[in-house]
């Protein structure tokens, strides 16, 4: 995990653990990580939701609600210059499914 994402992740967990939620939690994360975008906060939220060490049901619910509320905030933006991920890259399962469909229907790429 990159250092930037780790800071956002830790701020998110700290705020949720302190009982913050919604806009208060979002503002708390922005206060601790001023350069964080909605996209980065949503990604950190998803990371927290999959972390087996995060077991508090209320914290998980709060983080889930924040992720859903801000999921679409970055749609239509030109992108994040600090983002090291390729947005056109498919998940391994999606690529496999496309290949399976080509084989099943006898189509070729392109």
Residues 41-83 have pLDDT tens digits of: 999 999 999 999 999 999 999 999 999 888 776 565 555 555 5
pTM: 0.63
- Pick from 86, 11, 99: nearest CA to 47: 11
Tokens of 75: 């749609």
Rg (CA), the chain: 17
């Amino acid at each position: 995990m990159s250092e930037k994402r780790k800071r956002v992740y830790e701020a998110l967990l700290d705020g949720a653990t302190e009982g913050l939620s919604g806009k208060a939690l979002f503002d708390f994360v922005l206060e601790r990580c001023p350069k964080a975008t909605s996209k980065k906060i949503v990604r950190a939220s998803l990371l927290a939701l999959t972390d087996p060490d995060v077991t508090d049901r209320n914290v998980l619910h709060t983080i889930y609600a924040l992720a859903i509320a801000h999921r679409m905030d970055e749609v239509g933006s030109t992108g994040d210059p600090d983002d090291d991920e390729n947005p056109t890259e498919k998940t391994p399962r999606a690529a496999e499914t496309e290949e399976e469909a080509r084989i099943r229907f006898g189509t070729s790429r392109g």
